[in-house]
Structures are given as C-alpha cells and as structure tokens.
Structure 1
C-alpha cells in the first residue's frame, strides 16, 4: 500500500480549516520540519513543549498538529541553550514536523468553538461574530438549443446552481443569437464570413466565487461553440459565512450559579471564575475559546446573558458587570477539547480519502496553573 505523506495530511486538514480563515498575521501552518516525508502517526496537541515532543517520539509520530503555534513571534536567533531553541532542536533531531492551526481552527465549522458549544449542549447555535463570507456570482451563457442540457449538466456536476439546500438550480430563456465568423474561425454553426441568426437559450446559474475557475473550465469543455458568449456578474449575496465564537441557547433557563457548576463539569475543569449576579436566570449563552476579552460588547449586542471564555482581565470583568453581561471563565486550557475533536475528524477524513494514518490525541495536560 502506498505511504501517506505529510503534505497529503495537511491538504486534507486545510479543506476543513483553510488558512484563509485565520486572522491576519496569525502564524499558522508548517513551523518546524518538512511535510515532504512519509507520515504514519500524528500527535494532536493543544501546545508543544518538551514533554509533548517526548510523547510524540514515544508513539512514533512523524508529525504534530498543534492549536497554539510554538513559534508565535519572529525568531531573532535559535539558541539551543534557551527553551524555544531547545524545543526546535529536539523536534529536528527526532525528525518531527510541527504544524499549527490556530484561529483558522477556531473559526472552522466543527472546529474549537463548535466543539465547545457541543460540549456545553447549546441549542440553535450560530456564529457570534462573522469574520468572512463568500460572494456569489452569476453565469449567463448563450447556447444553441441542442446543447443547453449538456452544458447545464456539466455546470451542475461541479456545484453551480446550488442555492441553500437546493441543487441543480438554473433558469433558461430563449431568443436569437447573431454572429459572423471571420475567415480564420472554425464555427460550430454557420460558415466563415456569413452572418447567422440561430435560436439560442440563455442559461443562468449562480455559484460561490471560489468555484469560478471550475465553472469556467466546465463551461468551455461542454459548450460546442469555439468562442462561447457569456456574462459573469458578482452578486451582493453572501454565502459560506464563517466566524469566531458561537452563541446558542439552553434548553431551559437556569440560575447563573447552577449553570456555572454545569460548565465546570461539562468542560472538566477544577474551577470557574464567575462575574454577575449568581441568582439571575440565564438562557442565551455565548462561548469563545481562548482569550475573549475583546468580545464582551459583541456578546452583549448578540443578546447573550453569559459569555463563556478564558483569560478574563480584571477591568474587562468590571466592564462586563457594568453592561449586565455575566462571565464564566473556565480558563484558556479548555481549548484542549480540540485534541480529540481533530483526531476524530482527521481519522474519518483519511479513511474516506483512503489515506492510512493514525491520529493520537495527546494525553498530557499543558495547563500551567495549579490550585493550592
């Protein structure tokens, strides 16, 4: 059986969490080593430290997929007598590549924030703040009547004409086409230097901008004319919305004190910090993995009663209190939920693509805080 290489693994991963989703300047992607090598085992971790690398070595992993980039700021040197340089040296010596997926994995459908929303049993889940969306385009192409169905079928097969839960959507109108081929042309209908008037259909379909090249390729391959006439129009309609954080509802209202205890249990943390009146009822819940200090006003505008997020600053907590937004802070480390989530997703994706690779969730905790 043909070996799977690192590049194949990453290409499959990036179909799920493409780099284009990440915040500008976020240092994602391959950080250490090479993907141009066979990969049979991948360790999935929240952070990369020496113990995690030792775990990867022990398990025979050639690649680590991490949520937090081990190289977050540009290196001015790589001194192996300092912690970061020593970590990089350790990976290189053991030929272990390190790939980071940070905000792109936060934003991706099924990524960190969806995993948290699922663990918290939220219902009617939506994006908290939109970060990106894709414009729609419309193709209007003129075809001889006998070729309309073959062009329509070719466009439908590559996804043109999908609107929400409906596919193969199109509109056809009829009219006359006029053209006069030059003496260098090789016309499908008519003769060179003769004006022709033929019955044609105008076929219209919509599709996301990202499919433009595939749509045009399918059009040109299926259309009988040497020079098909078509219009491409960018629409104001947006699809494929992606965003940071999630917001949803509880099945029934509950007291903040009770819900804080539930969050503690559902996210498996030793404690949570809470801002707000413990006796108030809450129902609409926003969640954002990692540091959510910048999102208190966004959560409030979205109608949240509570924002569940980590690393809450003292003064930001006071600001949340002032706008009557409750906060439940379970810490930054709850993002470790991605270890099992990524391993499960990639195991299924590789099986579907007939790639052989084992994904191992790290068993180590990289939580630096302890309760005493």
Structure 2
C-alpha cells in the first residue's frame, strides 16, 4: 500500500476538499511512498515524532495541521523548523485531516453524540451541501459482487454512517454484437441473453467521475450499460456541531457522564447544576462561536472546549448551561475511530494511536 491509497480511504471517510481554505491533506511526503506503519495523533510534537522514529513509522496522520499557513523557510534554530527537518530526515510522511474531520458524518461530533448517548442528532451549522447522484449499472451475475466492491471502495454507496449501500435486482439483459465489436460474451450478429444484475447505488458529485472511471475500467463488457440520475431528495450535508436529545437528567449528573465517557480529569460547569436538561448540543474543539445558534435551536446545555469567560457569561445571560470538557478531550476521541476505519479497509498496515495522545498535554494541580 502506498500513501495515495491511504489518502483515498481517508477521503472516503472525511474528504479533504470540504474546506478549500483549510490545510488538510498531505503536508510532507510522496504519494508513491510505500506505507507499512501508521501513527495517529492530534498534533505532531517532539514526543510524537520521537515515538514515530523509534517505531520506524512511515506516515503520521494528524488532526491538527503542522502548517497553518504557507512557509518561506525552514529554520533549524526554531522549534518548528527543527521538527520539520527531523521529519524529512527520517523519511516520515505527514497527512492532516482537520476541519473535514470536524464536519464529516462519522467524524468528531458524531462520535461525541455516541459517547454521550445523544439521540436524534442534527447538525448545528451547515457548512457544505453536496449534490447526490444515483448510478445504475448492469453487469453479468458472476461479476456483480466484484464490481460492487470496486465502486464501494471508491466511495460510492455511503448513506449517513453506512457504507456499501446498494440495491440489486437480477434479470435478463439482451444485446447483439455488430461490426467492429469484440464482445466479452456472445457472437457477432447473434442476439445474446445474459443473466445480469442491476446494481443501484449513490455517489456525491465530487467523486462521480472517479467512481464511473473505475466502474467502466473493471466492468467485463466492451460497452458498459449504465445510467446516471441527479437526485432531488436531500443531499449530503456537512456541518459543524451536533444537537439532539438525552434522557432527562440533572446538569450535574450529565457533567459526570461527560467527565467519565470522555475520560476527562475534570470539567467546568456553567449554570444551575440541579437543573434538569434534555436537549443537548456538542462541538469538538472550541465551539464558543456557536453559542447563539445553539441557544436558538433550543439547547438546555452545550458541551465544548476552552470556553472563553466572556462567552460563558453570554451563555448564562441567555439561560444556556455549559460544560467545558477541554479542547483536547473533545477531540482525542476521534483517533480510535480513524484506526478502526483504516483497519476495516486494509489488512497489511500496522496502525497505532500515539501514546502521547492518551495523556492530556497539561496537569491539574
């Protein structure tokens, strides 16, 4: 497996082009590099890099970019310059999934809702809406499973957090090869009847051409019969934060649940701790800028990280309770998710989560 294979998989989970102004994607390395060992981390620190070097890691996949802006030079007298030089010297690639991991279905915010048992969740703020298309292709029965798998690996068939979604109907396909044809099945000028499968699946507009290309390439027929339908039903929506419902519980009890399930050393609670809450919002990282939207959507409580004092005061004035679980604790939960996803899609990679991402980069005294 090479770097671009891993990127292809990660783009299915969290497409890096969701935010053109973001610094997601391959930051250091070659697309053609052979990859055997992968290390996952929120950030590249010297400790994380030392761990990668010690374990002969081929690529570090991070949530936060090493570069947040263009660089004009690499100065080894600076902390970042020294870090970059060491990464290059040890032939380690760096790939970042930043805001795309925040807003994608199945990403950080959806994981928070699962950990906190928030039901019927919806996006707090929409960031991007993608058009959906239905692809229908007809393939000989014995090739159907292989073709389904090929287009699924390219990203076709995702509905919410479910992959490989398709509908399949068996039937008889007919065709007659004519002059200048080289049929896979049948003879020229003779009507052929073949037991085929009609495969229906959906794709987003950004991967439509890639899916069609691999589908046609892997299809056994010389001329592939397929249809493309633009869909007017709800398109694929990407957005920041989630809001949903929990079983009615007191704020102080839910804060304990946040502390336990997110493995926090402690949490800050703003509001009336004995108040019963039912509608809850979450946003990984620092989501203070969503307070007004969260309040407008009827949240009783909002869980995020690194809440500024002025934002806490504003929320309290609005009657919105807050739980500050820390920026780090609300994001570290995504690393095992990425690990599980990559392991489910590959069989020859050694994937690990940095041991330094199991420990908060601060101490509580």
Range into which the TM-score falls when normalised by the shorter chain: 0.7 to 0.9
Q: Which residue number corresponds to residue 254 of structure 1?
A: 249
What SS class does the counterpart of residue 260 from structure 1 fall into? helix
Q: Shift of residue 130 of structure 1? A: 2.2
Q: Shift of residue 212 of structure 1? A: 5.2
1:278–1:15 CA distance, 2 compared to 1 (3 A): same
Instruction: Please say if residues 137 and 209 of structure 1, whose CA atoms lie closer than 8 Å, have aligned partners that are also in contact.
Output: yes
Select which of 68, 79, 87 maps to 1:72.
68
The question of 1:324 aligning with 2:319 is answered: yes
Whole-angstrom CA distance in 1 between matches of 2:159 and 2:339: 32
Instruction: Please say if residues 134 and 238 of structure 1, whose CA atoms lie closer than 8 Å, have aligned partners that are also in contact.
Output: no
Alpha-carbon RMSD: 3.5
Whole-angstrom CA distance in 2 between matches of 1:263 and 1:207: 36
TM-score calculated relative to the size of structure 1? 0.74
What SS class does the counterpart of residue 333 from structure 1 fall into? coil
Select which of 5, 29, 39 maps to 1:33.
29
Q: Shift of residue 367 of structure 1? A: 3.5
1:8–1:324 CA distance, 2 compared to 1 (3 A): same
1:248–1:73 CA distance, 2 compared to 1 (3 A): same
Q: Which residue number corresponds to residue 354 of structure 2?
A: 362
Q: Shift of residue 134 of structure 1? A: 2.3
The question of 1:59 aligning with 2:55 is answered: yes
Compare CA radii of gyration and give the structure with the larger one: 1
The question of 1:13 aligning with 2:13 is answered: no
Whole-angstrom CA distance in 2 between matches of 1:222 and 1:45: 43
Q: Shift of residue 37 of structure 1? A: 1.5
Whole-angstrom CA distance in 1 between matches of 2:2 and 2:225: 38
Q: Which residue number corresponds to residue 79 of structure 2?
A: 83
Select which of 294, 315, 321 maps to 2:310.
315
1:137–1:360 CA distance, 2 compared to 1 (3 A): closer
Moved more, 207-216 or 47-56: 207-216
Whole-angstrom CA distance in 1 between matches of 2:232 and 2:31: 39
1:235–1:7 CA distance, 2 compared to 1 (3 A): closer
- Name structure 2 gaps, 5 residues minimum: 170-179, 181-199, 217-221
The question of 1:130 aligning with 2:126 is answered: yes
